Amino acid sequence: MAAAALAAVILIPGLREVGSFVAIPAVPIAFLAHAFPNESKQLLGRVLYRASWASRGLEREGARQDIEGSLSRGAAALQTMCGEHIPTKVRLSFVQTGEQLSALPDGTIVVAIAHHPDRARNLVTAAWTFVRQAILRDARIYLDEDVSRSLDFVLTKALLAQEDEQAVRTFIRDVWAPATIGHARLRQLTERLDKLQQDQLLGPIVLTEFVELGSSYTSFPSDGLTAETAAFVDFLFDLSTREPGETTDPTGFDGSVIRVKVIFVARPEVYAVSGPSRYRQAVEWSIAHGYRSIYLLALGRNIEYLTEVGDPYRSDPRVLAVQPFERSVSLSSGRSIPRAVCRLRVDIRQRVGVGREPFYVVGDEGVRELRRQMRRAGARIADRRSLPDG
């Protein structure tokens, strides 16, 4: 049947011209829709809004396409700033009856939206729900409560900022401001995490460590660990507020679970004297002292030095992964400058002796060396026991 219809379009002159008229613009439209799916959804939503007077169905579909496209587009932009810790596929469908609601699978997020002209409110409601329910799901139980809520504020604001400034203002006025009244610590943590987001340290470091905490930590949550997550935010904020070239210690965070070392790749005049060896020595020291994550940080033209420092560790058996991240940051002068963050994920194996402090070995070779030392120690003890008294 389809073949007959196609043949008719090709063979009948009048239909051929009509088909060409429709097909010619349809090809680039289809290409653009495929290449820019989120933008296409936003455009379709705006078009359907214009026709919403015709039926409630068009109004609902316009709202769905616009919100779905806007959330997906904002989440994709946020992912470029925060690494691959942000889900970017957002799918919406309308639930209109109690039966439909009860039939939803576990994990489905239900969002109430307003009449379509209130676009800013709809975006705020959807983005706020998306961030709280879809990001860092496995890590939430280990995070300090105020840290968790502050992350929601900062990530929602960042997501909305990609799409609608009015929605950002609505969010700050109607959600963030009321929630922080009388909660000075919550307000302070939000400001600190927002500063880390502006400095492009939130995604590459904070979210990376928290995602890994949620995916690899298997103990029950404890007050000590939640306090550690808040202390980690304070530590990074203090690092971010240092003056350029300032190297005041500490640059390492020595938590019981989060163990992070930050190494600043220095100015060109310093690098010209010491080259990469000084920074590789710092990396080696950090590996030997049990830091699971070593972050190399550089700005501007120092990025090429960072690459030179980190490249040899791509084939180092002690390092599980070398994860680079680069993004522009805005300076106080208003000028933008590239910032690079390179994470060395070290294969740290923690060992705990009876009645002793934990100690660390690195990778398979470290484990083998530890076993050799234990065998040698056992042999020495056996030899001493075989000696005669006196």
The reported pLDDT for the residue numbered 367 is: 72
Per-residue pLDDT for 18 more than 50? no
For residue 106, pLDDT over 70 is answered with no
Amino acid 116: pLDDT: 54
Amino acid letter for position 320 = L
In total, the chain counts a number of residues equal to: 390
Task: Write down the pLDDT at residue 87.
Answer: 74
Residue 29, pLDDT score = 45
Predicted model pTM: 0.76
Domain annotation covers residue 344: no
Please indicate, yes or no, if residue 53 is contained in any of the structural domains: yes
Look at residue 116 and tell me if it is in a domain: yes
Return the top range by mean pLDDT from 50-59, 79-88, 316-325: 316-325
Give the tokens for residue 98. Answer: 């109690």
User: Is 296 contained in some domain?
Assistant: no
Residue 166 lies in a domain: yes
- For residue 53, the enclosing domain spans 32-91+111-213+227-241
Structural domain contains residue 3: no
Residue 12 confidence (pLDDT) above 50: no
Cβ(49)–Cβ(116) under 8 Å?
A: yes
Task: Name residue, tokens 């090809």.
Answer: 27
Lowest mean pLDDT, pick from 173-182, 210-219, 324-333, 346-355: 346-355
What would the mean pLDDT of 90-111 be, rounded to a whole number? 57
3-state secondary structure of 296: strand
pLDDT of residue 72: 79
Which amino acid is residue 68, in one-letter code? Answer: E
78 domain-assigned: yes
Identify the residue whose tokens are 């943590």.
Answer: 189
pLDDT in tens, 172-210: 999 999 999 999 999 999 999 999 998 889 989 999 999
| pLDDT tens-digit map of 40-76 | 555 545 555 555 545 555 666 666 667 777 777 777 8
Query: What was the pLDDT predicted at 358?
Result: 64
Looking at the structure of the chain, the number of domains it has is 1
Q: What are the Cα distances from residue 160, in Å, to 132, 255, 331? A: 14, 33, 22
Torsion angle, CA of 113/115/118/124, rounded to 10 degrees? 0
Question: Is position 298 within any domain?
Answer: no
